[in-house]
């Protein structure tokens, strides 16, 4: 606490306490010599501010460096039979339906979501519709790593999956596991009926999923099996396609990071 005598300069009214050293009193001298304590304080504050600025810049706090997009770019929809090989080859069909979906390019994010589907005959008036979905997000301003790693712990394949005429609830639980050697970080979430792979590569986040649904194409009521259940369940087993998911993602990553055509 500063007392009134200290403010006024003591009994002689011409002396002031030495606030810097904390020692006895000495006469105040004007000019440059008298200003040195305040210059020292101001200089110390300036140095401290510079140090803190360097620390904050080095840690990233208060300063966000734009993520490296690793050459990824969006030039139209990536859902083509060529871009999704070997998955499209493994389906063993000749015709694919292409849905370009939506593409958005903004200052902070470029986004595309598209679909490729195909119908295969089972030879008994049943067909299987396969649906591949691709999502690509190119983050230009903020690093998506934290959100990506959190999402790996919250994936759940019990949600609905696409099928003929709409979406069908998927009762099969998903299993999530890391995929080494793919981008900066990657994981698969798989179930008997739906397969998915998610990749983080710099500022790019890519997702590829495949699911399928069976549909009766004959007349009348479909023939049940010996237990009275439908011969083919609504959701088709896509387990055999699982080995093609990671190689297809590698194809997609290569295409999207290749130099754009002139």
Token look-up 């501010």 returns 49
What's the confidence (pLDDT) of residue 177?
94
Query: Mean pLDDT, the chain, as a whole number?
Result: 79
What's the confidence (pLDDT) of residue 242?
97
**Higher per-residue pLDDT: 164 or 6:** 164
3-class secondary structure, 159: coil
Measuring CA to CA, how many Å separate 80 from each of 25, 97, 125, 129, 217?
A: 86, 9, 28, 17, 27
- With cut-offs at 50, 70 and 90, classify the pLDDT of residue 5: very low
**Higher per-residue pLDDT: 261 or 50:** 261
**Which residues are within 8 A (CB) of 260 and not within 5 positions of it... i.e. 6 or more apart?**
73, 75
Flag whether pLDDT at 88 surpasses 70. yes
Per-residue pLDDT tens over the stretch 223-257: 777 777 777 888 999 999 999 999 999 999 999 99
> What is the dihedral sign for C-alpha 235, 162, 181, 243?
positive
Distance between CA 43 and CA 249 in Å, rounded?
Answer: 57
Flag whether pLDDT at 67 surpasses 70. yes
Per-residue pLDDT tens over the stretch 89-140: 999 998 999 999 999 999 999 999 999 999 999 888 899 999 999 999 999 9
For 171-229, strand residue ranges (E) read 175-178, 185-190, 194-201, 204-216
Give pTM, 2 decimals: 0.72
Query: For the chain, give me the number of helices (H) and strands (E)?
Result: 5, 11
CA triplet 7, 8, 10: central angle to 5 degrees? 105
Q: How far is residue 115 CA from its own chain's centroid?
A: 20
What's the confidence (pLDDT) of residue 13?
44
**Which residues are within 8 A (CB) of 106 and not within 5 positions of it... i.e. 6 or more apart?**
none
What's the confidence (pLDDT) of residue 240?
96
Distance between CA 94 and CA 182 in Å, rounded?
Answer: 30
What's the confidence (pLDDT) of residue 155?
67
* Closest C-alpha to 128, from 232, 43, 21, 27: 232
Burial environment of residue 50 by CB neighbours within 10 A (0 to 12, 13 to 18, 19 or more): exposed
**Residue 90 phi/psi, 5° resolution?**
-70, -25
Distance between CA 67 and CA 146 in Å, rounded?
Answer: 13
CA triplet 71, 76, 81: central angle to 5 degrees? 95
> What is the dihedral sign for C-alpha 179, 185, 190, 194?
negative
- With cut-offs at 50, 70 and 90, classify the pLDDT of residue 38: very low
Distance between CA 163 and CA 169 in Å, rounded?
Answer: 10
């Amino acid at each position: 606490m500063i007392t009134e005598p200290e403010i006024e300069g003591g009994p002689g009214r011409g002396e002031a306490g030495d606030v810097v050293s904390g020692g006895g009193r000495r006469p105040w001298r004007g000019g440059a010599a008298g200003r040195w304590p305040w210059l020292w304080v101001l200089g110390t504050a300036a140095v401290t501010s510079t140090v803190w600025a360097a620390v904050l810049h080095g840690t990233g706090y208060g300063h966000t460096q734009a993520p490296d997009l690793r050459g990824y770019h969006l030039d139209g929809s990536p859902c083509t039979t060529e871009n999704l090989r070997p998955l499209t080859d493994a389906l063993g069909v000749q015709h694919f339906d292409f849905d370009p979906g939506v593409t958005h390019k903004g200052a902070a994010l470029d986004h595309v979501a598209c679909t490729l589907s195909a119908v295969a005959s089972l030879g008994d008036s049943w067909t299987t519709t396969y649906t591949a979905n691709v999502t690509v997000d190119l983050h230009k301003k903020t690093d998506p790593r934290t959100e990506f790693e959190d999402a790996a712990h919250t994936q759940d394949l019990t949600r609905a999956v696409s099928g003929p005429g709409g979406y069908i609830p998927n009762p099969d639980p998903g299993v999530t596991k890391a995929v080494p050697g793919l981008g900066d970080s990657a994981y698969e979430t798989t179930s008997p009926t739906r397969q998915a792979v998610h990749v983080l590569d710099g500022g790019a986040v890519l997702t590829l999923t495949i699911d399928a649904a069976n549909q009766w194409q004959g007349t009348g009521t479909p023939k049940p099996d010996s237990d009275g259940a439908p011969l083919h369940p609504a959701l088709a087993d896509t387990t055999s396609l699982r080995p093609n998911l990671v190689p297809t993602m590698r194809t997609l990553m290569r295409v999207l990071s290749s130099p754009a055509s002139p």
